[in-house]
Structures are given as structure tokens and as C-alpha cells.
């Protein structure tokens, strides 16, 4: 696995962990429609966005 792929894998896990933690702090039971997207922002740099809808079950 290349260095770039290894780092992006770690960033992906960090994004999912943060999203899960934010949902828990809001009292949510689950996250729906999770999305991960990446984009190149400069030569050799990229950003990863992780988002979804946190909700509480009835």
C-alpha cells in the first residue's frame, strides 16, 4: 500500500470516528446516508469530507 493510500485510510477512519462521536454527543441513535468524498486541493494535498444525518429512533 502506498504512503498516500495509507494516510487517506487513516484520515477516513478519523472522519468516521468524529462523525460517530458528534452523533453520540447529540443523543442520536444512528447515522443515515453517510457519505465520504475526497478532492484534491493543491499539489500533493487532498481533503476528505465525511457527512451524514444523525437521528434518534422513536
Cα separation, 25 vs 52, whole angstroms: 15
Strand partners, 31: 54
In contact, 49 and 41? CB cutoff 8 Å: no
What pLDDT does residue 1 have?
Answer: 67
User: Has this prediction a pTM greater than 0.75?
Assistant: yes
pLDDT in tens, 24-54: 999 999 999 999 999 988 887 889 999 999 9
What would you report as the CA-atom Rg of the chain, rounded to the nearest whole angstrom? Answer: 14
In contact, 36 and 54? CB cutoff 8 Å: no
Amino acid at each position: 500500500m502506498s504512503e498516500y493510500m495509507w494516510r487517506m485510510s487513516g484520515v477516513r477512519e478519523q472522519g468516521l470516528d468524529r462523525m460517530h462521536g458528534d452523533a453520540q454527543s447529540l443523543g442520536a441513535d444512528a447515522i443515515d446516508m453517510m457519505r465520504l468524498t475526497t478532492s484534491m486541493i493543491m499539489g500533493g494535498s487532498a481533503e476528505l469530507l465525511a457527512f451524514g444525518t444523525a437521528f434518534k429512533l422513536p
